[in-house]
Structure 1
Amino acid sequence: MEGIGWIAAIVIGGIAGWLAKQFMNTNTGLLMNIVLGIVGAAVASALLGVFGISSGGWIGYLIAGFIGACILIAIVRAVSR
């Protein structure tokens, strides 16, 4: 979350979570979208960091949040089955 503030992280996380919700066709609420986006961005940033890929700024955070939220949704679906 370097380079963006907490309020921006919440807004971008919400957008990323909502995009992941639409892409993965799941039924989650606003709070869960925000959590998925923020946690997803942290997860994706860590995974991308392993491969030497760095994402910065709003767009990078949004992309990382979307990728991470999709990963988290897939993991939850796999575990719940």
Structure 2
Amino acid sequence: MQGVGIIGWIVIGIAAGFVAEKVMKRDHGLLTNLLVGVVGALLGGWIASLLNIGFGGWIGSFVVATIGAIILLFLLGMIKRR
């Protein structure tokens, strides 16, 4: 998430974590949504760079963070089931 700053990371992280939580039908708190969103943003950014997909600004960062957060929750669910 380039160009959005630390406050932007927090806002986008909370929003992305919240959307991922609803999509994956989970129930977390605000802090967990923030952590899932920020880690999801890192995961999504890494995957986007591997696929050579460019994104920018608030909307692009939010989309990539949300997709990364959904992937993160899916992977955590797979690990937890074992």
- TM tier relative to shorter chain: over 0.9
Match of 2:76 in 1: 76
Runs of 4+ in structure 1 deviating by more than 3 angstroms, as ranges, are: none
- Per-residue CA deviations over 1:32-75 (Å, capped at 9, x if unaligned) read 10111111011111111111101111101100110011001001
Root-mean-square deviation (Å): 0.7
- In structure 1, the gaps of 5 or more residues are none
Given that residues 15 and 37 in structure 1 are in contact (C-alpha distance below 8 angstroms), is that contact kept between their aligned partners in structure 2? yes
Identity of matched residues, %: 40
Aligned length: 81
1:1-81 pair list within 5 angstroms: 1-81=1-81
The one-letter code of the counterpart of 1:9 is W
Equivalent-residue separation in structure 2 for 1:20 and 1:68 (angstroms): 9
- Residue pair 1:45, 1:54 contacting (<8 A) in 2 also: no
TM-score (norm 2): 0.94
